[in-house]
Amino acid sequence: MSKNKLVIFLILLALIAIAVVVIKSVYFSSDHDEQQFYSMDTIIDIKVWGENSKSVTQSIIQEVNRLSTIFDDYSQSSEVYKINSHAGVDPVIVSQETSEIFQIAKSYYYKTNGAFNVMISPIARLWGFKGGEFRVPTEEKINEALELTDISDLEISGDTVFLKKKGEAVDLGGIAKGYALDKIYEILKMSKAKSALINFGGSVLTYGTPDGGVWKIGVKNPRGEGVSGILKITGDKFISTSGDYERFFIQDGTRYCHIFDPSTGLPAKKIVSVTVVGDKGYLTDILSTAFFVLGKENSIKLSENMGVEILGFDNELEFFATKWSSENFEKR
C-alpha cells in the first residue's frame, strides 16, 4: 500500500471512530430502535423513539440506500456516473430527485458567489482526492482543470442533465447527505415517531423533543481529541460541519484538505472548521462547504441572509459564531 493511500485509509478509520459531529443525547426509552449502517460513502447512525420505531428505521435505511444508487458517482449504474461518462456527448435522462438536487446545487453556486460548486470534481481528482495518489499539481494543471468547472456547462432541462464538455464531472458530496436528511425528515413526519436523532457522517438531524427538552450535540475539536464544546438544540434542526481534518494530506509541512476554493482550484484554508445549523438539510450541507471556503467574516455576513446559524474556528483556533450559536454553545 502506498504512503498516500495508507494516510487516507487511516483518516477514514478515524472518521468511522468519531464523526465530524459527535452526538450526545439525554433521552432514554424502551420504545426505540437504533441502527448503524454504511451508505453514501459514510457511517450512518439512526436512533428513533416512538411507535413502530423499527419499521421507521427500516424505511430510513431503504430510502438512503435508494438515493445512494442514484447519486454514487463511482457506481456505473448510478445516474451521476452516467452524467459524468456522457459529458460532452449527450444528455442523460434522470429521476426527479437527480433533477431537483442539481437545480438546487446550481442555484446555490450563485447564492454563495461561487463558493459552492458541484463541478469541482476535476480539481478534486487532480489533487488525488477522488482515487489515485495525493499530489500538489502544477499551476498549469490546476488552470487546465479549472476550465472544466464552469457551472454554466451544467444544463438541466426537464428530466435530463447534460455536461457540455468532455472531462467535466459533477460531485454531489457537498449536498447529498443533507438532501438525504431532508428525505429522512419527511419519513419521520409521516410516521408516529416521537423523536429521532440521525448522524449522517457528521451531518445531523434532530427530530422532536428528548427527555429534558434539549438535544446535546458535541462539536469535534478540530485539532485534538474529543469535542470543543456542546451545542444545545431544541426541536427539529439540521446541523452540518466541514473541517480540514476530515480528509487531508501533508506535504513539506503544509496541510492540504479536500475542500477546494472553486475560484483558485486550491484547497481552502481561511478557517479550520465551521458548523451550520438550519431548517433544511441540503442548505446546511451546502453552506458548511461554502462557508469553509469563504472564511469567517464573509460567512457570518452571508449566514444572516441565508437564515442559518454558524460557529467555527479560524486558523488561529479562535472561536467565532453568530449570536444564537454563541448563546447555545458550551465550550469545553
**CATH number, position 130:** 1.10.3980.10
Mean pLDDT of 19-35: 60
C-alpha cell at 268: 481552502
In this structure, what CATH number is given to the domain that contains residue 38?
3.10.520.10
Same domain for 86 and 146?
yes
The neighbouring-strand residues paired with 198 are 46, 205
Residues sharing a CB contact under 8 Å with residue 4, sequence separation 6 or more, in sequence order: 128, 133, 134, 249
pLDDT at 31 over 90: no
Boundary residue ending a domain (108, 137, 163): 163
Sheet with 42-50: strands ordered across: 32-39, 42-50, 193-200, 203-208, 237-243, 271-278, 309-314, 319-321
Assess contact for 196 and 49: CB atoms under 8 A. Answer: yes
What letter represents residue 143's amino acid?
Answer: N
In whole angstroms, what is the distance from residue 165 CA to residue 90 CA?
10
Domain co-membership, 225 together with 283: yes
Where does residue 319 rank: exposed (0-12), middle (13-18), buried (19+ CB within 10 A)?
Answer: middle
pLDDT at position 132, please?
73
26, pLDDT greater than 50: no
Q: What is the mean pLDDT of the chain?
A: 91
Domain boundary residue among 130, 163, 196?
163
Do residues 234 and 308 share a domain?
Answer: yes
Does a structural domain hold residue 99?
A: yes
Q: Given a cut of 60, is residue 180 above it in pLDDT? A: yes
**204 and 112: one domain?**
no
Whether the predicted pLDDT of 150 surpasses 80: yes
Q: Which residue has the higher pLDDT, 207 or 25?
A: 207
Grid-cell match 489533487, residue found: 127
Residue 103 near residue 219 (C-beta atoms within 8 A)? no
Q: What is the pLDDT of residue 9?
A: 37
Using CA atoms, how far residue 194 sits from 105, 183, 197, 199, 254, in Å, is 32, 17, 11, 17, 47
With 50 as the cut, is the pLDDT of residue 3 above it?
no
Task: Supply the pTM of this predicted model.
Answer: 0.92
Q: 219 and 87 in one domain? A: no
Q: Find the DSSP H helices in the chain.
A: 3-17, 53-71, 79-85, 96-111, 121-127, 139-146, 176-190, 281-294, 296-306, 323-327
Range of the domain at 58: 3-69+175-247+267-331
In this prediction, residues 279-302 reach a mean pLDDT of 98
110-130 residue pLDDT tens: 999 999 999 999 999 999 999
Domain count, the chain: 2
Q: Is 180 found in the same domain as 151?
A: no
Alpha-carbon distances, residue 303 vs 37, 288, 323 (angstroms): 32, 10, 11
Residue 1's pLDDT band (cuts 50, 70, 90): very low
d(CA 94, CA 117): 20
Tell me the three state secondary structure of residue 190: helix
* Matching residue, cell 446550481: 106
Establish if 111 belongs to a structural domain: yes
Residue where a domain stops, chosen among 113, 141, 163: 163
Residue 184 lies in a domain: yes
Whether 87 and 227 share a structural domain = no
Whether residue 103 is contained in a domain is answered as yes
Residues 299, 325, single domain; the answer is yes
Among the ranges given (26-30, 84-88, 227-231), the one the predictor scored with the smallest mean pLDDT: 26-30
Rounded Cα distance between 76 and 49, Å, is 37
